[in-house]
Structure 1
Amino acid sequence: MSSPSISSSSKRPRDGQALDTAQQKIPKIHPFFTKSSQPTSSSAFRWVPLGPKHTCLHALNLDPQPSSKVAAFDLDGTLIKSTIGTRGVKDPLQWEWWRSQVPDKLRDLHSQGYSIVIISNQALRPAAIKSWKNKIELFASSLPNLPFRLFAATEKDVYRKPLPGMWYELDRIFREQGVELDKSISLFVGDAAGRRGDFAGTDRKWAINLEIPFHTPEEYFLNLSPVPFTLEGFKVQSLPIPQVSPTSSPILPISPKCEIVVFVGYPCLGKTSFYRQHFQGAGYVHVNQDTLKTREKCVKLARESIEAGKSCVIDNTNRDESTRKFYIDLAKTKGIPVRCFLFEGSIELAWHNDLYRTYLSANGDKRALVPYGGLVSFRDKFEEPATDEGFSEIRRVNWVFRGTPDEERKWSMWLQVDGK
């Protein structure tokens, strides 16, 4: 059986026709992507937006039916060869199969009742996205009788692997059609697996997050044995216990008295939740710059609270001595004690919580993502509080996750994009 010609007039191979044999080489460039090739629209392949201004691209080839078992694949480096960092690729429409076995394997999975789904990260500029979409339309034309669905994350948000947003969209679509996904008989194949030479471990992390069996392209298409891997980056581990130290005195004074409590720490380490849990019910006024917008308004509210005989909590990052001095001086002027609660945790933990709170939290306290640069700014300008600043006591607060088992499972996922 001969491989297709590489001329611009070559005919598309019939469904099921091998692209090469053991004696024949795979063409360097797929025949559809010679310089004379142009995207051709086809009703068989179509882009189906998930919603207005949605950051996840969604496409269908033919009419893919939902199935409880899903065979999901990364695109670049898994189904087709990646052109990232490849010199001499001038035509953005050029591509070739990762290995010749790929199309037949996809067709075989479809015949077994699997839903074929492509899951891809594509953080590209608008002009590049347009060209990439043309390439995908031509890719689909090389599989004329294979129904499949494609998701592509175009921003660094909940849809970008290893975050699970693309799988959640698939699950939602299937449930609307009365089909429940079965992760135990589904699978995901990807090349970003944390092996030596891999650019990242993103694909393997995505599969771990979703508890789906994972394979590398070499394992799945070539039946090679697994090789060692290392997943780098921040992963939730056991955190210090107890939550608050020292433990010799209660969080609230035994004899109620007017005081100022100053919180110190990165954003996203649970300061506001700690206030609600321990201080709100005791009548402490909540002084928060996210709500009040300026430091001047925070100091003003703190002063008004103390003058009214009410204790208050300064729920801001309060990263340096000069910022904390406003409240220490106020306490000295009014002759009341001022205590400090230092919320401890690394910048990686703060960023992890930031991503979880923004994209995966199921409660009603979702807020906009705190830019990573804001966390870096806190780290670079942080001055650890000391009692000689004027604090009567400094308590240390360790992060403790509070939520349902399902919420904790999501919080425990790999959430940070490799290298970010």
Structure 2
Amino acid sequence: MTRTSGLKRKAVADSERKAKRARGETDLSENLRWLHVGDLIKEVCPLITLTSTTLEGRSKVAGFDIDFTVIKTASGKKFATGASDWEWWNECVPTKLQKLHKDGYRVVFFTNQAGIEKMKVKPEEAFICTGNNHYRKPSTLMWEYFEEQCNNGVKVNHQNSLYVGDAAGRSKDWEPGKPKDFSCSDRMFALNLKIKFYTPEEFFLEKPPAKFKWGCVDPTTYLKKAPTPSATTYHSKTKEVIILVGPPASGKSTFRKRHLEPHGYVAINRDTLGTMSKCIKAAKDALSKGSSVVVDNTNPSADARSAFVKLGEEMGVACRCFWMATPIELAKHLNLVRQNQTNGEVRRIPDVAYNVYKKNYQEPSKSEGFSEIVKIDFCPKFDSQKDEVLFKQRTCAGH
């Protein structure tokens, strides 16, 4: 290509851009930029965005999932075979999106792409949660980042905004021949944001809503039924060993920090110390120095508990068992809440850990050598309003 022809092409492109601006159209191609947000997780940022500081801020937002909501695979496969393997979900999609823009909506795309963290796919779209981290829908952090950083300071009116997605909790054959939705995360995302929700069929094709199931614990309903925190004193004036029993994220660590450590109990935790032998040594050292100890592990079986019971007998101190009676599904919810509370600093515990716990679980018995077994019901007590808000948000703990 000659320099003259290149200049001509540039002049034509400049002319086209000016014409678009005169018609009130926006040419985004010049201004959109990839931005990596947050600390690295496995050398991948938890959130990747494609945005621009020149985009107009708007108070109405139309949010969309991407896969099988605005596009689908051209090959008909579940997962795209490459960057070109896509087509519009329906031919009416681009027209509807353009109408939303003209009607004053900011059209934004939010998608979960866990394959990025696993290094299976390359990012190609905007506001992408790259793994099972704190930005993952139905967590609202992706949307909140958009509101705070990418809407030019304009406050979003949630009542006038909407979200469209295909993860809607619909059962198999919600429409003849249709498979069960893989989750309810898109519907939960909209609920957590307090905005209107539509499936692609409802929004683009104007079909009636289909029946669905949330498929997870309802934290708001749980709060209404939850026992109120008691004024029970849990610590002892005499030296002892306390063994906590409960699934991951059932409230064990919070309990011992609130009720035991302030009274001099030394926490023994395998996640921190690494091996059982180091835990036994640390417990023995603490008892030798006159301190009580609290063993903060899941301790599901009699065998897992026996070494600490035996240590108590050897040291001549009583051994009590505190059994955290938090339902497994609620513990899974708390697992995700904790990840969101800490902005991903504490990663979610995978479901396999709960399966292992259930497989090995044996209800504690005094015949193991305990002087007492204390059942501890989960009683929500929030340290801040933010913690309460996060607890009340729906999570995909049941999926």
TM-score by length of 1: 0.75
TM-aligned CA deviation for residue 169 of structure 1: 1.9
Residue 201, structure 1, aligned to residue 193, structure 2:
no
Residue 66, structure 1, aligned to residue 57, structure 2:
yes
Give 5+ residue unaligned stretches, structure 2.
1-18, 21-27
* Alignment partner of 1:189 out of 161, 164, 175: 164
Please tell me the residue identity of whatever aligns with 1:411: F
TM-aligned CA deviation for residue 91 of structure 1: 6.7
Name the structure 1 match of 2:88: 97
Please tell me the residue identity of whatever aligns with 1:80: I
TM-aligned CA deviation for residue 250 of structure 1: 4.3
Whether contact under 8 Å (1:174, 1:180) holds in the other structure is no
* Alignment partner of 2:47 out of 46, 50, 56: 56
TM-aligned CA deviation for residue 173 of structure 1: 1.0
Name the structure 2 match of 1:315: 296
* Alignment partner of 2:146 out of 156, 163, 170: 170
TM-aligned CA deviation for residue 393 of structure 1: 0.6
Name the structure 2 match of 1:227: 210
* Superposed CA RMSD: 3.2
TM-aligned CA deviation for residue 394 of structure 1: 0.2
TM-aligned CA deviation for residue 192 of structure 1: 2.2
1:309–1:60 distance in 2 versus 1, CA, 3 Å: closer
Q: Secondary structure at the match of 1:188?
A: strand
Whether contact under 8 Å (2:242, 2:294) holds in the other structure is yes
Whether contact under 8 Å (1:259, 1:338) holds in the other structure is yes
262-271 or 400-409, which deviates more: 400-409
Cα deviation digits, residues 262-298 of structure 1 (max 9, x gap): 1111121111211121112222222222332222222
* Alignment partner of 2:368 out of 389, 396, 419: 389
Distance 1:336 1:84 in 2: 68
Distance 2:280 2:253 in 1: 18
Distance 1:355 1:370 in 2: 8
1:225–1:408 distance in 2 versus 1, CA, 3 Å: same
Please tell me the residue identity of whatever aligns with 2:373: I
1:334–1:202 distance in 2 versus 1, CA, 3 Å: closer
Distance 1:64 1:337 in 2: 66
Q: Secondary structure at the match of 1:49?
A: strand
Distance 1:89 1:335 in 2: 64
1:122–1:315 distance in 2 versus 1, CA, 3 Å: closer
Name the structure 1 match of 2:227: 241
Cα deviation digits, residues 354-379 of structure 1 (max 9, x gap): 222123347xx953433332222222
53-62 or 377-386, which deviates more: 53-62
Cα deviation digits, residues 204-263 of structure 1 (max 9, x gap): 11111211111222322333332322222344342652667xx9x84234xx21221111
Name the structure 2 match of 1:414: 394
Whether contact under 8 Å (1:357, 1:366) holds in the other structure is no
Distance 2:395 2:30 in 1: 37
| Residues matched between the structures, number | 357
Whether contact under 8 Å (2:185, 2:396) holds in the other structure is no
Distance 1:182 1:47 in 2: 26
TM-aligned CA deviation for residue 127 of structure 1: 7.7
The alignment-based identity, stated in percent, is 32
Residue 129, structure 1, aligned to residue 110, structure 2:
no
TM-score by length of 2: 0.78
Distance 1:95 1:62 in 2: 28
